[in-house]
Amino acid sequence: MLALEMNIQITGELLLNESLARYTTWRVGGPAERLYKPAGLQDLSVFLQQLPSDEPLFWLGLGSNLLVRDGGIRGTVIATQGALTDMTMTAHGKVRIEAGVTCAKAARFCSAQSLAGAEFLAGIPGTMGGAVAMNAGAFGGETWDLVDKVETIDRHGHIHERKPTEFSVGYRSVKAERDEWFVAVHLQLQPVSVEQQDSIRKNIKALLAQRNEKQPIGQPSCGSVFRNPAGGYAAQMIEKAGLKGLCEGGACVSEKHANFIINTGTASARDIETLINKVADAVYQAQGVRLQREVRIVGVDKPAGVAAD
């Protein structure tokens, strides 16, 4: 076992054949061959230094915007949620937030520091690591609009500081030449007065209320399944195609928001992936637009006829 080959002192938790359904917001997914929950950034660095150079690595935050297939993930999964959770003020108008912090907590922290500009993060159902990795956005704001610099870690456990100019950032897309992963982000925000701070809090509450009204909060989903095409909205196109309520096994297109697919309680990852493809095909046939997935699909499938865990 990998754990026995690692002659080191790690303080995190290493689990074998751990079901990833517990770690994804869709509540589906096969097992991780190995899953590591680091005790902190330095512990993560030590852990990575001991891994074989060819060990497959996958980084997992809140598990939203993600579909793990029923066969699971080979190699090692690094689970950052609840692990990399430090948030600090670093300078006037600047904050450092680690990758495992949920976006909602980050928004509230910035508000408490009398900083404006991060309110939209409250509407993103994920962690800051995931938000940075995909340039997540909500209510007209995008993560990289706020980024001053980022901290990354490579597979050898070395930590680096990178500038935004070292990345190619687009709509729900961030590309880099290096094989590194985000572990912290430094945001540049606008300081406001104590009086204005109350307005920020009210804005966050209003955005959350708007999200709760329009989205199927409380039901297992991944957030938005498809990206909005140029000049349009995926949800409107799916609804126009008459697909609200369409089901595949235990997976159904939400009646509340057509760009959400919910797990009614019995869905497998295969059900969800099949439904995603059916929706994309139906919209293309009806309107001539091929919707692009926003959700990432990872892992291996189980052979036909083998039940999901």
Determine the distance from the C-alpha atom of residue 234 to the mean position of all C-alpha atoms in its chain, rounded to a whole number: 19
Q: Which residues of 74-101 are buried (b: 16+ CB within 10 A; e: fewer)?
A: eebbbbbbebbbebeeeeebbbbbbbbb
Between CA 181 and CA 100 the distance in angstroms is 12
What residues have CB less than 8 Å from 138, skipping those under 6 apart? 120, 121, 122, 123, 124, 207, 211
Q: Which phi-psi region, left, alpha or beta, contains residue 66 (left: φ > 0; alpha: ψ -120 to 50)?
A: beta
Token pair, residue 245, equals 């309520």
Strands 73-79, 31-37: parallel, antiparallel or unpaired by DSSP?
parallel
**Residue 294 annotated as catalytic:** yes
Catalytic residue (one of 64, 224, 254, 268): 224
> How many H helices and E strands in the chain?
7, 20
Per the document, the length of the chain is 309
Catalytic residue (one of 172, 221, 254, 270): 172
CB 27 within 8 A of CB 70: no
Catalytic residue (one of 33, 98, 273, 294): 294
Determine the distance from the C-alpha atom of residue 133 to the mean position of all C-alpha atoms in its chain, rounded to a whole number: 8
**Residue 224 annotated as catalytic:** yes
Q: Which of 199, 189, 279, 296 is nearest to 241 (CA)?
A: 279
Between CA 148 and CA 185 the distance in angstroms is 8
> Longest Cα pair distance anywhere in the chain, in angstroms?
62
Q: Which residues are catalytic?
A: 172, 224, 294
